[in-house]
């Protein structure tokens, strides 16, 4: 609502004084003869003692319409009409009184404070919690040392209901756990007259609990809310409100967003390495490497030519006979709370070589004569062969092949020396032959 302000000075203005208006807020000042109104500086006022007071006027600043509770309001100041003029202030009294009257006749009275604390002035914002929406009149009386420096002023203003506000933010609708944005920009708009921005901002879940580091508006309708990693919600779907708390002439408002927090994703999952010899019976070891963030657990799956090796789920693998001639890979799966399980597969080994036996030289015991029984001690083989044969020779010529460790000396062996060759075999291993020393001459 437009406001009509009338200004009245009870003392005569000295010759050369002028009245001027600036913008929508009407002001009254006095300029030296020949000076333009814009050259008057009402703040350049001396409070020193002088022989006589200078005429004074009331200057108005601030809006004449604001929202209930707003931080800005109408302000009034009493100043001399002449630049560098002396301001007289009666001591021991309250010569400047401001009275606000509502439409229902309610009144509020304020007293201005003057020298030695400065130029007497008053703003109506202390009444922000008391003035309900409506139309008000305001009257100021200042009784100076005489009529020369006394003045009265009448004006009016309107208090509107708190402004309706709207919240908008760039809070994203989804993210992966561990990759929450570190801040969100919030913008608040309102319906009503221009005013100074104020009010708190924060984020809250549907149960009312807050997270992040709230902020506030100050002279701007935009600010950021910081999101702290320690407050990050676990994976799930949430209704998150971006809340403007209102106050200071604004109604509160909120923007509700559906936010999905997905399982976290490992940023780094290096290709695992296999160490050891690719040979049946040897041990291979998988190294998962450095995952980011660090995995709290690993599982292992070993394969030979792409086929899973039964029971091979630990970090180490004793290469089975079934893998001979095949290439081996290992797949490492990493896990961490609130993160999706991820996997990485190594490069293949070379073709798995057949295993080899470790075996001692066999020994022969028994009487060395025709018809006697000889016994072979083959010793301890590593690994143990699954099949063993004993090949007997007389003077280097094979005379018998047995599957048992005993042998009855035939008459054809008379006068000759005997040896036995132990032949061991096992799946995935190279067959091994180990021959004993020669016996004494058979009698």
Helix or strand holding residue 17 (H, E): none
Note whether 252 and 167 are within 8 A (CB).
no
**pLDDT (tens digit per residue) in 65-101:** 999 988 888 999 998 888 777 777 777 677 899 999 9
Confidence of residue 195 (pLDDT cuts 50, 70, 90): confident
Residue with tokens 């006749």: 105
pLDDT higher than 70, residue 237: yes
- CATH class of the region 6-160: mainly beta
10 Å Cβ neighbour count for 124?
23
Q: CB 326: neighbour CB atoms within 10 A? A: 18
Tell me the mean pLDDT in the region 232-253: 94
Name the DSSP class of 314: S
- CB count within 10 Å of CB 275 equals 10
Residue-wise pLDDT for 305-343, tens only, equals 999 999 999 999 999 999 999 999 999 999 999 999 999
Of residues 280 and 219, more confidently modeled: 280
Model pLDDT, residue 20: 23
Tell the residue number behind the tokens 């291993």, with chain if given.
Answer: 429
Q: Hey, is 32 helix, strand or coil?
A: coil
Chain center to CA of 50: 66
- Specify the 3-state DSSP secondary structure of 93: coil
pLDDT of 393: 97
The alpha carbon of 65 is separated from its chain's Cα centroid by a whole number of angstroms, namely 43
Which residues are registered as beta bridge partners of 211? Answer: 203
CA 442 to chain centre: 91
Q: In whole angstroms, what is the distance from residue 329 CA to residue 16 CA?
A: 102
At residue 15, φ and ψ (nearest 5 deg) are: -55, 140
Question: Domain spans of the chain?
Answer: 6-160, 164-262, 273-345, 363-435
Closest CA to 44 of 12, 14, 71, 81: 81
3-state DSSP assignment of residue 318:
strand
Q: What is the pLDDT of residue 92?
A: 66
Q: What is the CATH number of domain 273-345?
A: 2.60.40
Give pLDDT tens digits for 370-380.
Answer: 999 999 999 99
Helix (H, G, I), strand (E, B) or coil at 292: strand
Element (H, E) at 260: strand 253-262
| Domain 363-435 in this protein, CATH class | mainly beta
What is residue 10's DSSP assignment?
A: S
pLDDT at residue 219, as a whole number? 79
CATH of 164-262 among 2.60.40.2550, 1.10.630.10, 3.60.40.10, 3.10.20.30: 2.60.40.2550
Contact in structure between 111 and 132 (CB atoms under 8 Å): no
The two three-digit tokens of residue 137, written as one number: 């009149």
* Res 15: pLDDT: 28
Q: What distances in angstroms separate CA 219 from CA 75, 199, 297, one per listed residue?
A: 19, 10, 51
Least Cα distance to 280 among 354, 382, 381 occurs for 354
Cα separation values, 237 from 54, 206, 330, Å: 72, 11, 36
Q: Considering the entire predicted model, what is its pTM?
A: 0.68
């Amino acid at each position: 609502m437009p406001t009509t302000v009338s200004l009245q000075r009870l003392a005569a203005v000295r010759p050369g004084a002028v009245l001027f208006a600036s913008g929508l807020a009407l002001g009254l000042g006095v300029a030296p003869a020949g000076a333009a109104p814009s050259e008057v500086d009402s703040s350049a006022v001396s409070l020193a003692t002088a022989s006589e007071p200078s005429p004074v006027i009331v200057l108005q600043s601030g809006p004449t319409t604001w929202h209930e509770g707003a931080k800005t309001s109408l302000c009034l100041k009493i100043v001399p009409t002449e630049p560098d003029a002396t301001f007289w202030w009666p001591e021991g009294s309250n010569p400047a009184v401001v009275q606000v009257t509502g439409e229902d006749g309610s009144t509020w009275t304020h007293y201005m404070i003057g020298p030695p604390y400065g130029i007497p002035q008053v703003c109506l914002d202390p009444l922000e919690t008391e003035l309900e929406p409506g139309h008000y009149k305001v009257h100021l009386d200042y009784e100076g040392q005489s009529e020369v420096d006394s003045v009265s002023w009448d004006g009016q203003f309107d208090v509107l209901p708190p402004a309706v506000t709207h919240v908008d933010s760039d809070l994203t609708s989804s993210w992966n756990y561990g990759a929450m944005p570190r801040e969100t920009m919030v913008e608040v708009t309102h319906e009503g007259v221009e005013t100074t921005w104020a009010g708190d901002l924060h984020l809250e879940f549907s149960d009312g609990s807050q997270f992040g580091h709230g902020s506030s508006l100050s002279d701007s309708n935009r600010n950021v809310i910081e999101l702290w990693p320690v407050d990050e919600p676990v994976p799930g779907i949430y209704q998150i409100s971006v809340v403007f708390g209102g106050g200071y002439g604004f109604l509160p408002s909120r923007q509700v967003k559906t936010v999905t927090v997905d399982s976290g994703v490992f940023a780094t999952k290096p290709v695992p390495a296999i160490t050891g010899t690719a040979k049946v019976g040897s041990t291979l070891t998988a190294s998962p490497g450095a995952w980011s963030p660090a995995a709290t657990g690993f599982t292992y799956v070993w394969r030979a030519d792409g086929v899973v090796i039964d029971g091979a789920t630990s970090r180490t693998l004793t290469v089975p006979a079934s893998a001979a001639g095949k290439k081996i890979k290992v797949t490492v799966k990493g896990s961490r709370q609130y993160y999706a399980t991820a996997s990485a597969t190594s490069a293949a080994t070379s073709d798995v070589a057949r295993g080899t036996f470790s075996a001692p030289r066999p020994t022969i015991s028994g009487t060395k004569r025709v018809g006697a029984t000889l016994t072979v001690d083959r010793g301890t083989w590593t690994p143990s062969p699954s099949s063993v044969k004993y090949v007997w020779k007389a003077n280097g010529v094979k005379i018998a092949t047995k599957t048992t460790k005993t042998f009855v000396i035939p008459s054809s062996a008379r006068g000759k020396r005997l040896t036995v060759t132990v032949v061991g075999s096992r799946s995935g291993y190279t067959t091994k032959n180990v021959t004993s020393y020669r016996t004494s001459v058979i009698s």
